[in-house]
Chain A
């Protein structure tokens, strides 16, 4: 059902696009000029959507499109759409899309249609009003006749050119016409009359072949006649009649034309013409819809085949068997052709997205008060479907930018002797195995001064560098992160999504962006996009006995140098490549296979480009280039970030594809941090390698040493106004979240000096220790420390101090929070505070689907619960451990990765403290068997996901029942 729905949606969207295209073409015509073909296109589109929506029982959509169709019907006679209506229809299309996405929408169906309705229509409705139900006998008789007509039509299709059949058909329809006129059935009589007309023209031909499309149309007419007779008062049917008549019209014309020609020229010609015509019509039928997954599979198999071919070819080099050589040659040729054709199956014309820009530009020029024309060239240029999707957003951004920043307003253009109407041209074409898309505008172009000034302001470059930069470099500044040239941020562009995103998105798919501009004359942005992602040109290199593939897009050049020309900066090897320092990485170091051998005098370096960082990688040997088929790695290997995939080489062995960006991140950008971490790790290990990682909040007190509070007992950190501290007896308290929070000054307890001058703001660490909540006043909250360092309790000067953390740089005093609370005498527990966390029930919510997780969690928080979320069973258990089982309720999904809900609950029930905790299964499973299984596993109760609204009710019920039980 879902797949069906998916298909339906794509189809509808395509249809809307077609309607939109036609509407925009209408817009280009002078006002009120008529175009039957365009009108029909739009009409057909709406009509089809209406029908499809009806089939899918999607009433909302059906109703909406029906309204659109109704309005369109009224201009049927003129076959033109007034300008103001075009905008209305375009809005209507948008609403259609909103409906499709299930988004909220609003649309005013009442539109002044300038009384373009035909008088014919009004007459119809007058007649229709008076209609009485038709006698039953008449209906059944008509139905019989209709069936007969259908049969005859089908016979004509199979037994071509039988004149008797045609005559019988003609007679039947003529009779029908007479009958329906007798009963005053306007629609049916109009329709049957048209049918008669088309047939009339084909009678009198000795030998006549009816096209199958003509027959289908006639069959549809028959169906429509049926509904005319069944629902004589239905206005919709009448409208369909008009539409159907318009469908019949071309056939009548064709036939008449042929008849004329037939009188002069021999039969053959007409046959050919018919053939031509039907070929044209069949064009639409020769394409079929195929699941993308099937195409993907085909592609993979194709990849395999190419590999086998390669192996055969390699083997054939070793043999003298002529026949085998011959065959392998043939295999080679066929495989190459097959590969090419298979690749084409995934190809789609780029026009699919480019055509959408007509609308974008039209809307934008309206809202920006500019006059802009969009010219498209090479819309038929094809590229991989996934790539088309990927370039859509960047392209949209560029086009919007061109409209907003590039093209000037009409008066400015006039002043600079340009035509008032600006032009944006998009050209798409193939070049060197890539698809090139040029977006050219004839606007104001880029201003060097403005760009450099802005870049200096943003700290991207400095003045001295700016002076040295070439124009080209300056233009490329607009791709720098955080750069936007618009002086004011409009709602059109400059909303934080800069050209840097365009660049990174295009580069993500292995493409390139370039810009050139001449001030006052315009800007040209060039996108270079690879044809496909599945097969990648790569360079094969060797390290020891292993071969690796490096994608060509990441490869800048290959360098072979003498070992002696390597220099060292702070112990790291570099090479001066044409005067610039190129940092070097050794592949062996990356792989962890030891140092490079010192024997070779010559060194091979591949110069790589990762996000504008150039670096060289020293490899043992550079082997060859090859087109490789990218295979994904098993999912658990993805965390090893230096490989992006694998491929099978010509000899059948597997080679890893290097993830250049991953390597750079691991070994260049973050190297300093890594090193630092290594050092501290090593240091920590010397003390106690078994020590678990713990977290502390570091606070400053009236002592020179830093103090640490275990993070596990810290609930929140607050800044409160000193003036808001009140006294309850001799206890300092503040109002906190609707309750009272006891404050303890750490300085007082530990006997340190209290800051003499009172600050306006007091820092408070709110502690939640064994359900007791209180605030610790501190002078300063410094940081959170994660450490494995050794806790030394040999020197403890105070009861409330556990010991000292000995880190590599200093000694930190760890505070015993539990003791502190005990020492401040009061045993009164703050449990009675109404809104504090002990009361706000704490819920653990385990769910693997992010959307549901966020939505439900938000709902729970809004209802005053404290919510911890976990992404699967394992994570859930971790969260339980972290929170020391301190939950009032657990909600868990059942189908989850790593550990499913059943196992999760079983684990929970095995924990003593959680034996009684209510656990709700929140799942899509809903059979009694599932319920049983859930109960057996230990779930308290069960809620289907589609009844999410009941969740809060269920929760409060569970929690209160449980509390009663505990009491």
Chain B
């Protein structure tokens, strides 16, 4: 990946910038490929799902469609499980509607491949397995979340 990127950079051709929808949890900046994001909403009324694992917060009614609310905090295994989530990011992936609970919504930002780096090895595996890598931006370092791995993990953990 790295060699590919550097060769691109050397050739001077600007690659098409990528857009990420950003949000924060515990002050950390995360991003999801904007094409995967259906919408961003204020938290809707959640119907709790008893007997389900803690990262499944319940179901919400998104204009007649039912989405599963996922607590990223719990899924990532972040220690501090205070409920400061103020917003949700709704993603549709493989026909499954997921509503991710996050603290704050940021802008949609554009990044270039030049600013990409793989996830540092020191990042705990609990989160690293969901990360595609990081982008160096002016606002800080953006951790890119891979929705496919989130869905895979959900399938695995609930099995």
Contacts and interface: CB of A to CB of B under 8 A. Distances in A.
Interface of A: 303-304, 307-308, 546, 590-593, 631, 633-637, 639-640, 642-643, 646, 648, 652-656, 874, 897-899
A642 B52 CA distance: 10
A590 B159 CA distance: 20
A549 to B, nearest CB: 11
Contacts of A304: 63-64
Contacts of B61: 648, 652-654
B34 interface: no
B139 to A, nearest CB: 32
A307 B52 contact: no
A648 B64 contact: yes
Interface stretch (B6-14, B121-129, B150-158): B150-158
Given A308-B64, A654-B59, A654-B66, A639 B159 contact: yes
Interface stretch (B21-29, B41-49, B81-89, B104-112): B41-49
The size bracket of the interface on B is: 20 to 34
B37 to A, nearest CB: 17
Given A637-B52, A654-B59, A656-B47, A307 B64 contact: yes
Nearest to A899: B152
Nearest to A649: B61
Contact of B49 (A308, A635, A640, A874): A640
Residue from the set A640, A654, A898 with the largest chain B CB neighbour count within 10 Å? A654
B50 A591 contact: yes
Contacts of B3: none
A765 to B, nearest CB: 33
Given A639-B158, A652-B61, A874-B156, A634 B49 contact: no
Contacts of A642: 51
B51 A592 contact: yes
Nearest to B157: A636
Contact of B66 (A590, A593, A640, A646): A646
Contact of B155 (A633, A635, A655): A635
B56 interface: yes
Interface in B116-159: 151-152, 154-159
Nearest to A666: B51
B72 interface: no
Contacts of A631: 66
A592 B158 contact: no
Nearest to A655: B47
B148 to A, nearest CB: 10
A639 B157 CA distance: 10
A642 B51 CA distance: 9
A656 B64 contact: no
Given A592-B50, A640-B51, A643-B49, 5 more contacts: A304-B64, A307-B64, A546-B47, A634-B97, A640-B49
A887 B138 CA distance: 50
Residue from the set B50, B98, B155, B158 with the largest chain A CB neighbour count within 10 Å? B50
B17 to A, nearest CB: 26
17 contacts: A631-B66, A634-B154, A635-B96, A636-B154, A636-B159, A637-B49, A637-B56, A639-B159, A643-B49, A646-B66, A648-B64, A653-B61, A654-B61, A654-B66, A655-B47, A874-B156, A898-B156
B42 to A, nearest CB: 14
Nearest to B59: A654
Residue from the set A308, A634, A637, A648 with the largest chain B CB neighbour count within 10 Å? A634
- Majority SS of interface residues in chain B? mixed
Contacts of A592: 50-51
A893 B109 CA distance: 38
A898 B68 contact: no
Given A631-B66, A634-B97, A654-B66, A646 B59 contact: yes
Contacts of B60: 654
B63 to A, nearest CB: 8
Given A304-B64, A898-B156, A653 B45 contact: yes
A633 to B, nearest CB: 8
Contacts of B58: 654
A303 B64 contact: yes
B51 A636 contact: no
Contact of A656 (B49, B56, B97, B98): B49
Contacts of A646: 47, 59, 66
Contacts of B151: 636
Contacts of B64: 303-304, 307-308, 648
B155 to A, nearest CB: 5
Nearest to B63: A304
Contacts of A655: 47
Given A654-B59, A654-B60, A634 B96 contact: yes
Contacts of B66: 631, 633, 646, 648, 654
Contacts of B98: 634
Contact of B48 (A546, A639, A899): A546
B82 to A, nearest CB: 22
Given A307-B64, A631-B66, A654-B66, A636 B45 contact: no
B47 A654 contact: yes
B107 to A, nearest CB: 29
A58 B61 CA distance: 49
A307 to B, nearest CB: 6
A590 B50 CA distance: 9
A636 B155 contact: yes
Contacts of A656: 47, 49, 59
Contacts of B52: 637, 640
A634 B45 contact: no
A304 B66 CA distance: 11
A640 B66 CA distance: 17
Interface string B58-81: 111101101010000000000000
